[in-house]
Amino acid sequence: ETGVTQSPTHLIKTRGQQVTLRCSSQSGHNTVSWYQQALGQGPQFIFQYYREEENGRGNFPPRFSGLQFPNYSSELNVNALELDDSALYLCASSPRGFNTGELFFGEGSRLTVL
């Protein structure tokens, strides 16, 4: 286990609703990244947070937003849910400047939009 925890593990929403997903990073890791993984695909980068500010964003619309807190934990918010938002949402943490390709992933939050 990596020490990255996510909640909730599973949730079901309906189209148009809003969802908040939470992530606690591994101790000492000050950078948090969020990924969306659709069934049968690889994780897609949503955005990264460092020092409580967004520090890079992938090809996702503004209805995907996030926060990082002083203890480095993070939230992912998705507004106006669409059916295609159904996916596994993964949080990954790493220390800033960590000079390897290693990310520490949580188990993910599986979102189903009906």
Q: Which is nearer to another protein, 35 or 64 (CB)?
A: 35
Q: Measured between alpha carbons, how far is residue 85 from residues 4, 19, 39, 53, 110 in Å?
A: 22, 11, 11, 24, 10
92 binds another protein (CB under 8 A): yes
Q: Helix or strand or coil: residue 17? A: coil
105 binds another protein (CB under 8 A): yes
CA angle, corner 16, sides to 86 and 114, nearest 5?
Answer: 40
The smaller minimum CB distance to another protein, of residues 43 and 85, is found at: 43
Does 41 engage in binding with another protein (CB under 8 A)? yes
The residues in 58-77 that bind another protein, with binding defined as CB under 8 A, are 58
Q: How far apart are CB 80 and another protein at their closest, in Å?
A: 25
How many whole angstroms separate alpha carbon 35 and alpha carbon 108?
A: 9
112 binds another protein (CB under 8 A): no
Q: Is 42 helix (H, G, I), strand (E, B) or coil?
A: coil
Contacting positions for another protein (CB under 8 A): 2, 4, 31-33, 35, 40-45, 48, 55-56, 58, 90, 92, 94-108
